[in-house]
Amino acid sequence: MKPSTAYRQYHPKWYRTRVSTLWWSRRWSYLKFMLRELSSVFVAFYVVILLLQLHALRGGPEAYLEFQEWLKDPLLVVLNGISFLFVLFHAVTWFNLTPKAMVVRLRGKRLPNLLVAAPNYAAWLAISGLIVFLLMRQG
């Protein structure tokens, strides 16, 4: 049973506006959302680079050198620069949103969002440091 609509049989002329295709450009917050969603494309882009790198590794020292040279192509550097900004954006938004999905309580009190997000950043730093350390250990 649908209450309240049951007797609304004489529909007046309702006016509906369609959401425009460019809805996401209407507001800064929507645009930010779209950019956040688009960051996923750059995530995938990086995975492709990674796969190419693995492929090169499989091909031996020669191929790997070639791959490294390829990465120096200015076009690719620019592209990677843009990608880097996007994945950075992804990481920051992602860490900030965690507290929304997870309510952490300490002695019955809900922890403020900032405190829940903070360990994310700490871990991020640690992991990044570890990777740099592993890669640079022997120069």
Partner 1 sequence: MANRSNEPLLWALFSGGGVAAAFLIPILLFLYGLAFPLGWLQSPGYERTLELVQHPLVRLGLFLLCFLSLFHWAHRFRFTLYDGLQIKHLNPAINLFCYGGAVTGTVVAAYLLWTLP
Partner 2 sequence: MIDNSSSEMPSHDVLLVGGGGAGLRAAIAVSEVDPNLSVAVVSKVYPMRSHTVSAEGGAAAVIKEGDSLEEHAYDTISGGDWMCDQDAVELFVNEAPGEMLQLEHWGCPWSREPDGRVAVRPFGGMKKERTWFAADKTGFHMLHALFQTSLKYRSITRYDEWFVTRLLVEDGRVQGVVAIELMTGRIQAITAKSVIICTGGCGKVFPFTTNANIKNGDGMALAYRAGVPLKDMEFVQYHPTGLPFTGILITEASRAEGGFLINKDGYRYLQDYDLGTPQPKPVLRSMELGPRDRLSQAFMKELDKGRTLEGPYGPYVHLDLTHLGKKIIDTKLPFVRELCLKYENIDPVSQLIPVRPVVHYMMGGVHTDIQGATPLAGLFAAGEVACVSINGANRLGSNSLTELLVFGARAGRAAAEYALQNKPVSAGIEAQAADEKKRLEREFLHKRSGTEPIAVLRGEMQSTMEKSAGIYRTGALLEEAQADIAELKERFRQVAIQDHSHTFNTELMAALELSYMLDVAEAVVECALQRTESRGAHQRTDFPRRDDERFLAHSLVSHRTGDRPEVEYLPVTITRWPPGERVYGRPAAKTPPG
Partner 3 sequence: MAETITIEVARYRPEQEGEPTLQSYEVPFSKDWVVLDALNYIKDHVDGSLSFRWSCRMGVCGSCGMTVNGEPKLTCATFLSHYLPGPIRVEPLQNFPVVRDLIIEMTDFLEKLQSVKPWIVREDDPAPAKGEFLQTPEQLDNYKQFSMCINCMICYAACPVYGLDPQFAGPAAIALAQRYNLDSRDQGEQERMDVLSQHEGIWGCTFVGECTEVCPKNVDPAGAIQQYKLAATKEWFKSFLMPWSKP
Contacts to partner 2 by CB under 8 A: 1, 3-4, 6-8, 10-12
Exposure string over 67-80, b if 16+ CB within 10 A, otherwise e: beeeeeeeeeeeeb
Q: What is the DSSP string of 24-80?
A: GGSSHHHHHHHHHHHHHHHHHHHHHHHHHHHHHHHT-HHHHHHHHHHTT-HHHHHHH
Q: Which of 27, 65, 100, 119 binds partner 1 (CB under 8 A)?
A: 65
Asked if 43 contacts 87 with a C-beta cutoff of 8 angstroms, the reply is: yes
**84 vs 87: CA distance, rounded Å:** 5
* Region binding partner 3 by CB under 8 A among candidate stretches 47-55, 57-65, 97-105, 121-129: 97-105
Residues 73-102 that bind partner 1 (CB under 8 A): 76-77, 80-81, 83-84, 87-88, 90-91, 94-95
**Which residues contact partner 1 by CB under 8 A?**
19, 21, 24, 34, 37-38, 40-41, 43-44, 46-51, 53-55, 57-58, 60-61, 64-65, 68, 71-72, 76-77, 80-81, 83-84, 87-88, 90-91, 94-95, 123-124, 127-128, 131-132, 134-136, 138-139
